Amino acid sequence: MTEAEPPSPLDSSVRPLPNPVVPADLYDEAYYRTACAGYAEWTESDGVEVAGLYPGILAMAGLKPGDVLVDIGTGRGEMLAVAVEHGAARAIGIEYSPAAVEMARKTLGAHGTNDAAEVLLVDARSIPLPDDSADLVTMVDVVEHLAPEELDLTLAEAFRILKPGGQLFAHTMPNRNIYDVTYRLQRLMTPGRRRHWPADPRKDNEKQMHVNEQTLKGLRRTLCQAGFRPVRTWLGEWIYAEFVPDERARRLYKILAKIPMTARFGVGDLFARAIKP
């Protein structure tokens, strides 16, 4: 008798999951070709070229030869290809967008990763991987796309599949403070600006997809609640102010970013490193 196949993580009889807050079909091929970070290199080369952010993230995360990487929200799959090229024993992408999975498989084929890398069409809230099986889990520009309850379940899965001493490394943008504090105060300081400055300056796709923007304190608290220890969060270097209608007013973000006490109101992105005890 052959052994039965394990149940799908999306099987509601095993673990019922609510529908994702952001539907998967919003992340279509056009999104990954025109909006998702690193799209220019991928689109111009049809998956052969990779933006520098991917090797940069893996260098910051400290990927070692022989490691097993799980990349949650892998998108076009560049992280997987780069990980294998840098010595990972195995690289697994978790993705719920069918369009992204197709593009990721194209990326892996273009880089000749063979069996060392694969991408799974699954929900990150229920990952079909064994406990204690990964050395490194990455979440690059994913946190802000998961509603709080979804993020909690995803982090629980990341914690479960990591080996003791394994690491979760995350990057998220935008830093919520640049919208909810800096921009809001700028808009309120001069009443005349209210006619020209929208109450919410986010782009339409941000309003649809960014359902959980973070701050340093909030991100650290969420990771700690998931059981990670120690947890470190820090500011990146991205200064994002294109959404500010007045060119002179945009300069404030660069000024704030240079001062340690105010940097969290000027820098647009956040990093996190969290260890499974």
- The full DSSP string for 89-156 is SEEEEEE--HHHHHHHHHHHHHHT-GGGEEEEE--TTS--S-TT-EEEEEEES-GGGS-HHHHHHHHH
CATH number for 24-275 (one of 3.90.1720.10, 3.40.50.150, 3.90.1150.10, 2.40.50.180): it is 3.40.50.150
**Which residues are 127's β-sheet partners?**
none
Token pair belonging to 87: 């010595």
Separation between Cα atoms, residue 38 and residue 11, nearest integer Å: 33
Confidence of residue 216 (pLDDT cuts 50, 70, 90): very high
pLDDT tens, 59-77? Answer: 999 999 999 999 999 999 9
Length of the chain as a residue count: 277
Neighbouring C-beta atoms of residue 86, cutoff 10 Å: 17
Residue 3: what pLDDT? Answer: 38
Residue 140 pLDDT > 80: yes
Full-model pTM: 0.92
**Which residues are 168's β-sheet partners?**
137, 274
Residue 1 pLDDT > 50: no
Angle, alpha carbons 48-53-56 (nearest 5°): 110
In the block, tokens 């007013």 appear at 249
CA 27 to each of CA 21, 100, 122, 207: distance values in angstroms, whole numbers, following the listed order: 13, 7, 14, 14
